[in-house]
Amino acid sequence: MIREEFALSEWHGPFDAATQARALAALEKGQVLYFPGLAFPLGENEREFLDPALTDGKAKNISLNHTTGKLQGTSAAGEKAERLAAMIERFGAGATRLVEDLLPGYAGLERARTSYRPVEVEDRPYSVIQDDRLLHIDAFPSRPMQAGRRILRFFSNVAPSGSRCWEVGEPFEDFARRFAPRVKPHLPGQSWLFARLGVTRGQRSAYDETMLSLHDAAKRDSRYQKNAPHTALDFPPGSSWLVYTDQVLHAALKGEFALEQTFHLDIAKMAEPQRAPIKVLERLTGRRLA
Ligand code: SIN
Ligand code: FE
């Protein structure tokens, strides 16, 4: 099963050891942890945020940097922007508490950006590389993961109606084996330059270059997109899910109004670091990637 279900309805523990162990093993194996009864409730005065016009029309998402409190990508201003930020912050804090209680071994994981995605996924125009309706693994051009730091994401569907519809693909190792021959060589000079110019926050490693290459190659391969193994996963309103998006091939086909919290984790904190994409890629290529 690609989706491992948990019957939670509260945004915190305590959780018994068996539940914690099941969550950890499933997540690191590349399954999606699914919380069908874990809804993020909107307050009465937050229902006005169920409005796609809340974005600034340029960015895909509205995002909150919780350390600075800075809200980006929204047309909302003043008091309305403050209330929007408070809603996104309440979600981010809740998701963080839940992940920490469910996965105690990940204590100290980095809470990165929190996003609100009010725009219908199906309708937006995208370039191929930006199109998350195509199967891909996540790799951020401007945020290097260097020695293989993980990208872990928690989502809630807050839409009043309509599922968020995903597809997930084949296991990471099968995908990597298929695309490895197409990975572009790492150019250390270019990584250094990008960091110097501020294009990237820190220097890209060979691992970062490899993951970006895999992301782009998968999206550009229309035969792969058509014929690759995939499983449909629907997340109804009022449900939440947690997934390593650097490992699980995924495509978001349809849905509006989702909240998302990104986390980063050093692979040393994993129960089974050998399952991390960097370790899989190093085994496959016989090269050190960081
Ligand atoms: C993605 O990470 O590809 C998009 C997921 C989503 O917005 O549902
Ligand atoms: Fe993605």
The domain ranges of the chain are 3-121+130-285
252 Cβ below 6 A of ligand 1: yes
Q: Check if 258 has its Cβ closer than 6 Å to any atom of ligand 1.
A: yes
Q: Indicate whether residue 117 lines ligand 1 (CB < 6 A).
A: yes
Q: Please work out whether the CB of residue 250 comes within 6 Å of at least one atom of ligand 1.
A: yes
Closest listed ligand to the CA of 153: 1
What pTM, to 2 d.p., does this model score?
0.97
User: Which percentage of the chain shows pLDDT scores above 70?
Assistant: 100
| Cα–Cα distance measured from residue 107 to residue 95, given in angstroms and rounded to the nearest whole number | 13
CATH code reported for the domain at 3-121+130-285: 2.60.120
Q: Which chain residues have CB less than 5 Å from ligand 2, an ion? A: 138
Distance 81 CA to ligand 2 centre (A): 26
- Ligand 2 centre to CA of 276 (Å) is 17
CA distance 103 to 242: 11
Find out whether the beta carbon of 170 lies less than 6 Å from any atom of ligand 1. Answer: no
Atom 5 of ligand 1: nearest residue by CA position: 252
Per-residue pLDDT tens over the stretch 32-89: 999 999 999 999 999 999 999 999 988 889 999 999 999 999 999 999 999 999 999 9
pLDDT confidence of residue 190 = 85
CB proximity list for 27: less than 8 A, separation 6 or greater:
33, 103, 152, 242, 243, 244
Tell whether ligand 1 has an atom less than 6 A from the beta carbon of residue 281.
no
Residue with tokens 């998006």: 245
d(CA 289, CA 148): 9
Average the pLDDT over 84-102 and give the result: 98
Query: For a pocket test of ligand 1, which of 140, 245, 249 has the largest count of ligand atoms closer than 8 A to its C-beta?
Result: 245
The predicted pLDDT at position 129 comes to 94
**What pLDDT score was predicted for residue 191?**
86
Whether ligand 1 lies within 6 angstroms of the CB of 164 is answered as yes
Give yes or no for a contact between 280 and 270, defined as CB atoms under 8 angstroms apart.
Answer: no
Model confidence band, residue 145 (pLDDT cutoffs 50, 70, 90): very high
Query: Model confidence at 188, in pLDDT bands (50, 70, 90)?
Result: confident
